Amino acid sequence: MNGAGSRSEAMFRIKICGVTSAEDAGFAAASGADAVGVNFYKGSRRYVPPGAAASIVRAVRDGGATPVGVFVNERPEVVEAICRDLEIGGVQLSGNEPPDEAARLPFRRIKAVRLAEGLDVAGLGSYPCDAFLLDAGGPGEFGGTGRTLDWADIPGSGIRKAWMLAGGLTPENVREAIRVARPGGVDVASGVEDRPGHKDAAKVKLFIKYALEGFDSERL
């Protein structure tokens, strides 16, 4: 099923994920990212301990973007405690979080869905989130792999909720990805890095520029 249906606006049009320093976070926000993700999953190469995240979150807010806490199969009470302590108002659930646990979180919620596991479009709409993030992933992996999805095969038009596209996006391909898949927003981590967790400023700036051009062309 092709995703070239009507495009729903997502929570964020451009999200730069997996920042590990206040410098990178501030630059991404100041360059035009709507949201910046901080990864609190210990199994990630981009993990940031909650105790070291305050300056990163502050840099995101000071730059005019929204900080998003990224979690994988974490207990709701832990997610809530971290986000309240750091004043983070948005969370991304990138594991196998059951709906009842997600519904307990008093924040704006993004639910990551790994297409490598198959996608039950009909069943997505009932999940208690504000938007979905469609990613590549793989067995035992929770995003950030850099694998590119087949955009033409993404069943975006059947998802009755806002959704974002991730998975192998780069400055070079983000405009085409937006044209083909028609997501409401895009998310990038490895595609703007020179090494895991360290963003390349030039790539971040180009990604945001080309993503904005892609979304603007969709309005014509």
What pLDDT does residue 109 have? 97
Residue 66 lies in a domain: yes
The confidence score (pLDDT) of residue 160 equals: 78
**pLDDT at position 150:** 79
pLDDT, tens digit, 9 for 90 and up, residues 125-159: 789 999 999 987 654 555 555 667 778 877 655 67
Average pLDDT on 109-126 reads: 76
The pLDDT value recorded for residue 124 is 78
Whether 54 is covered by a domain: the verdict is yes
Within-domain flag for 4: no
- Which of 24, 34, 135, 187 is the catalytic position? 135
Domain count, the chain: 1
Name the catalytic one among 17, 24, 34, 83. 17
CATH number at residue 147: 3.20.20.70
Categorize the per-residue pLDDT at 217 as very low, low, confident or very high, splitting at 50, 70 and 90. confident
Mean pLDDT of the chain: 88
Q: Is 83 a catalytic residue?
A: no
Q: Does residue 6 register a pLDDT over 70?
A: no
Question: Residue 4 — pLDDT band, cuts 50, 70, 90?
Answer: very low
- In this predicted structure, the answer to whether residue 169 has a pLDDT above a threshold of 60 is yes
Catalytic residue list contains 129: no
The reply to whether 38 falls in a domain is yes
- Residue pLDDT, tens place only, 46-92: 999 999 999 999 999 999 999 999 999 999 999 999 999 999 999 99
Structural domain boundaries enclosing 66: 14-219
pLDDT of 151: 85
Residue 8 lies in a domain: no
Q: Is a pLDDT exceeding 60 seen at residue 2?
A: no
The pLDDT value given to residue 139: 47
The pLDDT, as a whole number, for residue 97 is: 96
Residue 148 confidence (pLDDT): 77
Inside any domain, residue 9: no
In order, the DSSP letters of the chain are: ----SPPPP-S-SEEEE---SHHHHHHHHHTT-SEEEEE--TTSTTB--GGG-HHHHHHHHHTT-EEEEEESS--HHHHHHHHHHHT--EEEE-S---HHHHHT--SEEEEEEEGGG---HHHHTTSS-SEEEEE--BTTB-S-S-PPP-GGG--GGG-SS-EEE-SS--TTTHHHHHHHH--SEEEESGGGEEETTEE-HHHHHHHHHHHHHHHHHHH-
Does residue 5 surpass a pLDDT of 80?
A: no
Question: Who wins on pLDDT, 9 or 183?
Answer: 183
- Does residue 109 sit within a domain? yes
Instruction: Decide if 64 is inside a domain.
Output: yes
